[in-house]
Structure 1
Amino acid sequence: MAGAITLVRTFHFEANAEHVYLSSGTKQTGYHYPFPMSTIGIILNGERREIPAGATVADLLCIADAGRQPVAVVVNENIVRPDQRDSCILQDEDQVEILVFAGGG
């Protein structure tokens, strides 16, 4: 289908910002929210991060720019399988590890 639009579930988020940037390919669109976006605090790979409330593991992978890499995700010592990432909503104070597969020998 020529000229079809593909929605990409990636976004850039900055803590305490009122903007979310959605991107598809090289085009980036900013959306302004008239109210402050609520956030939660998680521990990601040992460092505290603020993310949007209601974010899923899939959203976090996009925020952390790890969405296109083969990774394993562990939330509170439980493995989150790839088919569960869209439905696993992160909670305040969750402990999250994103493990990138590395080759070598």
Structure 2
Amino acid sequence: MSHFVTKLLPAAVILVGATGLGGCASKSFVREQIAPVSQRVDALEARLQETDGTAKAALAEAQAASGQAQNNGQRLDQLNGRVDGVEQRLQAQENRAKRPRN
């Protein structure tokens, strides 16, 4: 054999062996390997939807509470105005009562 063939022969054997052993995976093999991952993804999607629903419900409750707090603040402002008016009338009555009568 020539020097060129002796160098080329091992490379050719490795190339033929690699392509022959590599092969393609069958559909059933791929399905078997993907099945556990697919099941985990499905479970995570279900949990994500549940969490999303919980978050949306919590947001709705928080918005309702915010509206109620705003209403309560307005009512407190009104009551403060009424209390101020009552205090002013009371103070005026006390001032009239303290004036000496002639």
User: Could you say which TM-score interval applies, normalised by the shorter chain?
Assistant: under 0.3
Q: Which has the higher helix share?
A: 2
Q: Which has the higher strand share?
A: 1
Q: Which has the larger radius of gyration?
A: 2
Higher relative contact order (CA 8 A, sep 6+): 1
Q: If the length of structure 2 is used for normalisation, what is the TM-score?
A: 0.15
